Structure 1
Amino acid sequence: MAQTEMSGPDTMIADAAAPFSFKRELLAALPGLRAFAVSLARRHDRADDLVQETVMKAWSKQESFQPGTNIRAWLFTILRNEFYSQMRRKGRELPDPDGVFAGNLATHPEQYGKLDMADFKAALDTLPDDQREAIILIGASGFAYEEAAEIAGVAVGTIKSRVNRARSRLRDLLGIDGESDYGPDSTSAPLVNKTSSGM
């Protein structure tokens, strides 16, 4: 009797873990996948389609995923490959002439944060595709250089070079020398501090 009671829950746990662990990991990766898709496609509707296609492909190929390896890197690779496959089929890149990409990304709710973010997004949008992709994989998505290199299908040194060039270009475009260059300047900071403290 005790054996039956012990084996019952164990069987249920095993059964639950096998089919649902992949699903949980896939769902947990969706926000990052969508952000990466937006950075590539530059349009939210195209990004949503890209994520949907990625999820469908990943689900149908889940038996090829090796447990214990990085599922986020695997999913990002599928998404990236799908994006470039679509671009090859269409024979052109997706432009952002109306600033849809730059205008629709989420921004910090504070006024100065919004201004900084708007400037950053505009600068990010001017980067070459390979540099923008590299800095988003490393800076926004949190991948290690080795993982980002695997996703992009290039050498680690190439990814490091692209990230360095992207950072340098962003610094030049935004006129950044340090952390003090973010947020309100020295003239407006006292006013902001007074307002926020209720004075």
Structure 2
Amino acid sequence: MIDPKDFQKYATKHIGINSLALDKYTSVSSGYISPTIIEERQLNVASMDVFSRLMMDRIIFMGLPVDDTVANIIQAQLLYLESADPQKDISIYFNSPGGSVYAGLGIYDTMQYISSDVATICTGMAASMAAVLLTAGTKGKRSALTHSRVMIHQHGWRTRTSFRYRNNSQRDSKTQKRIIHHYCRSFRKYLQKGRERLRS
């Protein structure tokens, strides 16, 4: 069984994540009320937050928008769980509005890099970059619950006053084409018209 403190040590020493960022992630993930559980062990009783307990069962819950901090922590969790046992599956549950394309692609690349199979499950909403991450799971291990919703759109950028779609940068255009290609490949059997349907 995985000890949550081992992950904290791994993330701070090997990955270089600030311990304050880990604490902030845990507090934001758990909302205003920190859900804790009591676990009885042979010689003692342990109290821990529910997300640490899920990690012990190789479950990552992504219920926040994708930004650099969230992406770094999710990547660290994936790398840690793979180093603990590369033969066992890792499950990621999504209920996220998406977020930064480049931060999300870091998670995507890590999911493809590790040798553990990654099961992805949408539990509420996987929108934008979270939808792309949902499709990045191991083939045959991607799913969405009955009332969950998956939404993709053309990626864009935000200024202080508005949200605009990016069409002007070659780099962004290549990124968008890669994402659409990946999405079509992942959901080929569900889409009748492939890329043309995605563009409409």
* TM-score, normalised by the number of residues in structure 1: 0.26
Greater radius of gyration (CA): 1
Q: Which structure shows the bigger proportion of residues in helix conformation?
A: 1
Q: Which structure shows the bigger proportion of residues in strand conformation?
A: 2
